[in-house]
Amino acid sequence: MENFEIHTPETAPQEAKEILSGMQKQNGFVPNLYGIMANSPAVVKAYHQLGELFGQTTFSPVEQNLVWLTVSKTNECHYCLPIHTMVAKMFKVPDDVIDAIRNNKFIESDPKLEALRKFTITMVEKRGWPEEDEVKAFLDAGYTKEQILELIVGIAQKTISNYVNHIAQTPVDEAAKDYE
């Protein structure tokens, strides 16, 4: 597999420097994923902007983190699974929810979150072709048609990062090593 340079704010192409500097300021480090994505400023910008847009959806922070973690688990992303486990804990996602996602089990404590987990898996595995009864189950759990569309934004964002990590074999950041 071809090696990809992991950029810093100092080494990144000019068009990516601002995003990497912002990540450094926000996190105290530049995640390796961002450093690799900076090899293509268009990719790092698209990923970052999709994250900002997904943050503006009607999903709660817990639900957003559930989506990111579920997509990463479904796509078997070695990098995103520990990162999003760490982030989910920061956003107070209950441990049983995190454990259920990481172990591909039902979320027994919260039927609505389980419906979101299940529908997210369906959308990823079926590439956006859910059955009518799967859509109905999602809506019956208390979600909306608007959120079906918003879910696609979260899936798109994570698919970008998952695929980049697969091809680049991104090393897990030191901050997330405990969550591997």
Question: What integer pLDDT is reported at residue 76 of this predicted model?
Answer: 98
Mean pLDDT of 26-51: 97
Looking at the domain covering 61-168, what would its CATH class be?
mainly alpha
Give the percent of the chain with pLDDT over 90: 98
Question: What integer pLDDT is reported at residue 18 of this predicted model?
Answer: 97
- Residue spans of the domains in the chain: they are 61-168
Residue 162: count other Cβ atoms within 10 Å of its Cβ.
24
Distance CA 142, CA 92 (A): 21
pLDDT confidence band for 2 (50 / 70 / 90): low
Q: Is the pLDDT of residue 166 over 70?
A: yes
Cα-to-chain-centroid distance, residue 24: 19
pLDDT, the chain, mean: 97
Distance CA 58, CA 55 (A): 8
Q: Could you give the C-alpha distances from 131 to 82, 123, 128, in angstroms and in order?
A: 31, 10, 10
Q: Which tokens belong to 100?
A: 């259920």
Q: Which tokens belong to 6?
A: 């992991």
Task: Check: CB of residue 130 under 8 Å from CB of residue 137.
Answer: no
Q: Is the pLDDT of residue 164 over 80?
A: yes
Residue 18: count other Cβ atoms within 10 Å of its Cβ.
15
Question: What integer pLDDT is reported at residue 1 of this predicted model?
Answer: 57
In sequence order, the 6+-apart residues with CB closer than 8 A to the CB of 16 are: 7, 37, 38, 41, 44, 45
Helices 132-140, 111-125: crossing angle, 10 deg rounding: 150
Q: Is the pLDDT of residue 131 over 80?
A: yes
Q: Which tokens belong to 87?
A: 């982030």
pLDDT digits (tens, 9 = 90+) for 58-113: 999 999 999 999 999 999 999 999 999 999 999 999 999 999 999 999 999 999 99
